[in-house]
Chain A
């Protein structure tokens, strides 16, 4: 028997006592053997320490006893887990918590960004904005109620409008419906001092080269059910950026969006730098299903009526709203095209200050390498907003493309 084997058997308590003397005699004259003994002693010690760190999880103990129909004695588990604790520690709860947290974070972030970015006058909701326009006398940001065609589209006035929400009354409508062409009626219709001031300011401006939008004349109606007209086939190059990464469990993605099909204001646009950008954080439930939240800024065309006395005024605006939504993403494996491409669908439901937002994406994901994916697809967007109990909708469709980065 080798001397090493003597050491092993000695430490294992298996060595014959007769051989112990031989072992220690050998070690007394052999430094290498003493080192070997010391090494093996350390390994045994470390293994024992490792063993002491491994405690049976309380939920596992609970499961064993539950499987056998026994109650858990305190002598076995001093830290008996309550059913609530077991639930709180469960994977299902963790996943649900992450989804809820992502949703709350999305909504909170959208609300917070709105608070940061908007002036006090602009913080009001769309519905409130209409009321302020007719009654409030302090706002310079939303002074746009007028039926005076020549004043309405002066650059001076338009600038003050588009700072925040570009609220643009297009025409007054009513039973008589002559306000559009009758400038003398303006002061009668709009008795608001500030609005009159703004109109006066706009009249001082000689810069009237901005093309006036189409003036529409509508018969009086309540527009309950909203404006469901969609896609005037106007397209515009539209930048849309989402930042993100993909990890083993969480995914965020870098998006860019291209052509948009939507109803738009017929005037030059000056979208905010972040307009159309958003961040998506998704938790990977498994290889096919993701849940999480999105939040970002997006422009929505809005068209609605507002009653001023006997006048029914049509407004058009394209404000930028910060929005948040809870999202679900599905990547069906059975539709995968080899290891290269995989289709996906994503649904988001959330809200902004104006109302409820829904988004639906369909796209194709291309795996470039393990850390980089490219994708292309389309997104359908809907905004449901309420003006004085009248429900309106706004829709748009955008081309979606970009990359996702795995970190």
Chain B
């Protein structure tokens, strides 16, 4: 059964979630494919392991409930990430621990290159640089670099035109590069 599920597409797996007799195995397969991506997104956006764990659980529960009703017809991965994204931002809105991003220029640059370059590992530095991005830039960066989403997938997930996705990615990369300039030149 496990080997058979491995060969199925996402859409086929999700279709099996409608049937209770196959739902458990299908969900386990889908979870094994995308749980790490979802976890990385939650962790990057929420920033706290315990809270990310709550959002992660809610996201998969919502996804299963929707999928079991047969309401996911195409691109389950994008649908899942869309649910995760919405759940993350709802959580942050409800808990008011983060600033709502209206003005990108108002976001302080919390990433201090002077303090971190000398002491941290490379992966830690890039992680901090991405974490310090404004929220809308961070989510497209995470979806692109961590989730491997295409531009069109990102556009679907965040509900914005392709041009917006490209623009945010461009600015995000410029900012990360600026933060890492000294390190990258070494």
Contact = CB atoms under 8 A, between A and B. Distances in A.
Interface of A: 4-5, 8-9, 12-14, 36, 38-40, 42-44, 46-51, 53-57, 59-61, 63-65, 67-68, 70-73, 75-76
Given A47-B146, A76-B32, A40 B39 contact: no
Given A64-B57, A76-B35, A50 B127 contact: yes
A68 B145 contact: no
Contacts of A73: 2, 25, 28
A43 B2 contact: no
Given A47-B130, A75-B32, A39 B43 contact: no
Interface residues of B, number: 40
B150 A46 contact: no
B146 A60 contact: no
Given A8-B173, A54-B39, A64-B61, A14 B151 contact: yes
A9 B144 CA distance: 11
B98 interface: no
A46 B53 contact: no
18 contacts: A8-B170, A12-B150, A42-B184, A43-B176, A43-B184, A51-B36, A54-B36, A55-B36, A55-B39, A56-B39, A57-B49, A60-B39, A60-B56, A60-B57, A65-B28, A75-B28, A75-B32, A76-B28
B64 interface: yes
A293 B123 CA distance: 41
Contact of A70 (B2, B27, B40): B27
Given A14-B151, A57-B49, A70-B24, A64 B145 contact: no
Given A48-B145, A50-B127, A56-B36, A64 B177 contact: no
A68 B173 contact: no
Nearest to A56: B39
A16 to B, nearest CB: 13
Contact of B126 (A4, A43, A55, A75): A43
B169 A8 contact: yes
Nearest to B130: A47
Given A67-B61, A73-B28, 4 more contacts: A43-B173, A43-B184, A55-B39, A57-B53
Pairs A-B, 5 closest by C-beta atoms? A46-B126, A47-B145, A73-B28, A56-B39, A60-B53
Nearest to A59: B53
Contacts of B32: 75-76
B122 interface: yes
Interface of B: 2, 24-25, 27-29, 31-32, 35-36, 39-40, 43, 49, 53, 56-57, 60-61, 64, 122-123, 125-127, 130, 141, 144-146, 150-151, 166, 169-170, 173, 176-177, 180, 184
Nearest to B49: A57
A63 B43 contact: no
Instruction: Tell me what chain A mostly uses at the interface: helix, strand, loop, or mixed.
Output: helix
Contacts of B126: 43, 46-47, 50
A40 B49 contact: no
A33 to B, nearest CB: 13
Contacts of A70: 24, 27-28
Contacts of B180: 39, 43
Nearest to B37: A51
A64 B169 contact: no
Nearest to A60: B53
B35 A68 contact: no
Of A9, A36, A47, chain B has the most CB atoms within 10 Å of the CB of A47
Contacts of A38: 184
A8 B144 CA distance: 11
Given A42-B184, A43-B176, A47-B146, A63 B57 contact: yes
Nearest to A66: B57
B57 A12 contact: no
Contacts of B24: 70-71
A24 B166 CA distance: 21
A47 B169 CA distance: 14
B27 A68 contact: yes
Contact of A51 (B27, B29, B146, B166): B146
B150 A13 contact: yes
A64 B29 CA distance: 14
B184 A39 contact: yes
A230 to B, nearest CB: 49
Contacts of B40: 51, 54
Nearest to A42: B184
A14 B166 CA distance: 11
Given A43-B177, A57-B53, A76-B35, A50 B146 contact: yes
Nearest to A5: B170
A68 to B, nearest CB: 6
Contacts of B141: 47
Nearest to B184: A39
A39 B150 CA distance: 21
A5 B49 CA distance: 34
A331 to B, nearest CB: 23
A64 B28 contact: no
Contacts of A61: 31, 35
Nearest to A73: B28
